[in-house]
Amino acid sequence: MFGLIVKMRSQPGKRDELIALLLRSTDAMPGCLNYVVARDLADLDAIWISEVWDGEASHKASLSLPEVQATIAEARPLIAGFDSSVRTEPVGGVGIS
């Protein structure tokens, strides 16, 4: 399995709008086993995305899906930047479908 833990920063006040976009096309991503979008409770513009994929190839392929491409284009003006992006190897747990 391949994982990502990303801390994204929205433009001020745009966090919920950005989150709604991020959640829009998550159903249509082959090989995506887990994808959680969360608000940081202490940092008003910060969003955490925790992802588990069946392999890195599925994650890369998702970036080319038309739905995902459209979301990226719409989301870009709402994103102030990325504080961190960590590549992981998920091992197990609860909720990995």
Q: Which residues bind its own copies (CB under 8 A)?
A: 3, 5, 19, 23, 26-27, 29, 32-42, 48, 50, 52, 86-97
Residue 13, classed as helix, strand or coil, is coil
Residue 51, classed as helix, strand or coil, is strand
* Cβ nearer to its own copies, comparing 65 with 90: 90
* Cβ nearer to its own copies, comparing 5 with 80: 5
Q: Report in angstroms how near the CB of residue 28 gets to its own copies at its nearest.
A: 10
Largest CA distance in the chain: 36
